[in-house]
Chain A
Amino acid sequence: MSNSTSPVSVAKPHPKLQSHFFSMDQQLEASTLGMWVFLVTEVMFFGGLFMAYIVYRHMYPHAWVEASAELNWKLGGLNTGVLICSSITMALAVRAAMIGNRTQQLINIALTSILGATFLVVKFFEYKAKFEHHLVPGPHFDPSLEQGMQIFFSLYFVMTGIHALHMVIGLGIMAYIFIQAWKGTYNAEYFAPVEVSGLYWHFVDIVWIFLFPLLYLLGAHGA
């Protein structure tokens, strides 16, 4: 890799240039690279759960199908759509920041947040249904169900729970960049925070893209 840093001397430093960087470019590249490295850690974080998923699915293929059939694939599908829509609004928000269009930024960030909140509301109703049907692992778990199903639901709750937690954090970030965008902070010179938040949001979407078929759609052909 070639030496990436160059001593570009900027005439008057941008007000958002932190003192330990040479240039806005260097600063932007550092934050995008930083976010990507962070996302690698996120991949591994969810990866541990997927490992457990693979092992137990291999051990209990039948229970997996049975348990998956208990999930509501329609709600899962709806949520997939919701997240995909939030991804395009997020992408448009980043674009708006890059071209310095404040109104578009605000609209798109707001839309993204609303879609994210919708996802969480749907998720809430799904969880509620699981409680009512005694599908939450632990002492109240329906004992008549075959071995392996309880593990499926443990993983279901941990995986979707952590995913939902990421969504909540994402909404917090959206609130922050919304306020900043309101103040007109972002423009063609300085949009790193929006870009980086976008990377995070898309990543959370990707996790769901895998969770949806792996959790919800196994039981569909049987039923």
Chain B
Amino acid sequence: MSSTLPLFPPSASTVAGDVDALFFFILAVSAFFAVLVSVLILYFTFKFKGKHGEAGADIHGSLTLELIWTGIPFVLAMVMFVWGAQLFFTLAKPPADAMDVFVVGKQWMWKVQHPEGVREINELHVPIGRPVRLTLGSEDVIHDFYIPAFRVKMDVVPGRLTTMWFTATKTGEYHIFCSQYCGTKHSGMIGTVVAMQPEDYEAWLAGGRSTGSAVQNGERLFTELSCITCHKADSSGRGPTLAGVFGSTVQLNDGRKVLADENYLRESIMSPQAKVVQGFQPIMPTFQGLVSEENLLQLIAYVKTLKPAEPASAPVKK
């Protein structure tokens, strides 16, 4: 342990300061009320000390006071809500240029795959100054990916994908914790984020053993699992073309419209009949049990890159 006792976690991401600011604001409000009430009750205890048999003053209440102490906490609470909600939005909407990293949690380890294909376990190397977006999947139970120094955390839920993002600002090594109880070695499901200068990161990437980028792997799987037989680049296959599907709004055959986000893609592969695209038969087989959570992420990464042939009709904005 260092000689000076740390009382505060390191702040090493762009949002850490904002989170701390909100923390200090609520702390100030809380301290004010805690001190106010404590001082008052102690003061009254001494000041109005009475004897047995005496009675206090005949006071029943005051509407004005009630309104004041309903109103002020209400306003302050709303400020906290708005501030907290704003921060939450920031933390929930990754910037468009974020680099995509896939994380799969399983009892009791983290498997990480970088866009270029480098994999690591229980470690996550990231460049500073660049937004990183994690797509999280779980192979068994709920886990939670938590980096205290970045003030970010997200549950990793089996059966769906979740996302989180951060931009590291300071180089160094920080804890990764699994923060959702997941069984025996929950407390051992920890790791390290290594935040590096971008050039160091490039060097590290180059030194890592890459087994092909996520997209390349996804493309390979797309052929191996014979998705390609039904999903062609044009509309000649038995299934809809997947070009440009990501981010578009899909019309289903029961009249509903859904947004094709990662979870939709995931569901389309794992339980294809839940949402059937309009004009198609529910013939796509389920790949549940055939693809691992990692392969799934790769497939999705690949599908996301498929763009329609002529850019003019691209439904994806931006």
Contact = CB atoms under 8 A, between A and B. Distances in A.
Task: Decide whether A and B are members of one complex.
Answer: yes
Interface of A: 59-63, 146-148
Contacts, number: 24
A147 B282 contact: no
Contact of A62 (B270, B282, B286, B288): B282
A62 B271 contact: no
A147 B288 contact: yes
23 contacts: A59-B274, A60-B271, A60-B274, A61-B254, A62-B273, A62-B274, A62-B276, A62-B282, A63-B273, A63-B274, A146-B271, A146-B273, A146-B282, A146-B286, A147-B270, A147-B271, A147-B273, A147-B274, A147-B286, A147-B288, A148-B271, A148-B273, A148-B274
Nearest to B270: A147
Shortest 7 CB-CB contacts between residues of A and residues of B: A147-B271, A146-B273, A60-B274, A62-B273, A61-B254, A147-B286, A148-B274
A148 B274 CA distance: 8
B253 to A, nearest CB: 9
A147 B270 CA distance: 9
- Interface range on chain B (Cβ under 8 Å from partner): under 10
Interface of B: 254, 270-271, 273-274, 276, 282, 286, 288
A49 B282 CA distance: 29
Nearest to A148: B274
Contacts of B276: 62
Contacts of A146: 271, 273, 282, 286
B157 to A, nearest CB: 14
A63 B254 CA distance: 12
Contacts of A63: 273-274
A142 to B, nearest CB: 14
